[in-house]
Structure 1
Amino acid sequence: MKQLRKTEWRRGYPIKKNLALCAWGVLALAGFAGILARPENIPSLAACVLALAGAVLSLPRLLGYYRTTYQCLPALNRRLTKKEQEELLECENFETITELKSGSLRRTDFAESACWLRINGRYIPKELVIL
C-alpha cells in the first residue's frame, strides 16, 4: 500500500489529476461564460463555442483518467479494485537492478521483487513480461 502511494506521489499523479480537472473546469467555464455574455463579433463567439465543444468532447477521457486508482499499475486498473491492487504489492520488497545501469539506460529505474518488476515507476507482473 505504501509502495503504490509513494510511487504515485513521486511521479506526481495526484497533482496531475487535479490540474487536469482544473484545466477542464476553466475551459468549460470560459465556454459557458463566453456564450452567455453574447459576444457581438463572430471570432469571439467561435472561440467560446470551440472551448465548450472541447470541454464536452474531452470529458469522457478526463473522467477515465481521474477515476484510475493507480497510474503506476497500468495493466490492472480496469480489472481490480483499489484494495486488491494494494494487496498485490503489500509484502513485496524491491531491489534495484544495477546490471542494467549502462549507457542509455543510466537514468532508467529498474527494480525487482519476487513477482513484480518496477520500471520507471510502473509496476508490471513478471508473468506478463517476455524475457
Structure 2
Amino acid sequence: MDHKLITPCDLPQGLIYLASPYSHPDPDVRAYRARMAAQATTALIRQGLVVHSPIAHSVGLLQLTGVDLGHEFAAWERQDLGIIAAAASVVVLMLPGWERSVGIRRELGFARRRGLMPFYLDPKTMDVSTELEVAA
C-alpha cells in the first residue's frame, strides 16, 4: 500500500479518533499496544491536535477503577463508533497486527461510510500519511 506523508496541519480540524489494535490473548502484547497508543496520543496532543484514543481511555479506566469492561471490540463498539461519529478524522496507529484487527476494520468501515478518509500513523517515526489510490 502506497502512502503520502503529510503534516499534522493537513489533518482535518477537529477531533481525531486514534484507531489502534489492542485485543490479543497475551497480556504483554496488550500492554505494549496500550503503551504505544498512549505514546502516540501524547505525541499528537503535543502537536496541538485534539485526539481521542479508545485504548488509552479504556486501559486508563481499568487501571484507575479496577473495573474490567472487556478487551474485545464488541465490548467497546458502541462507545467507539459513537466517538467516530463525532470525529473529523480517523488515524490508524500502524502497530504490528493492525491489518488483521477486527476492531480497526469495523472502525474504518464505519468511518468511510460517514465520508471520513483514514490517515495512517507510523509508530516508529510518528509520521502521518494518507493512502493513495493505486491505479488498477
User: Which structure has the higher relative contact order (CA within 8 Å, separation 6+)?
Assistant: 2
TM-score of Structure 1 vs Structure 2, range by shorter chain: under 0.3
* TM-score, length basis structure 1: 0.25
* TM-score, length basis structure 2: 0.25
Rg larger for: 1
Q: Which has the higher strand share?
A: 2
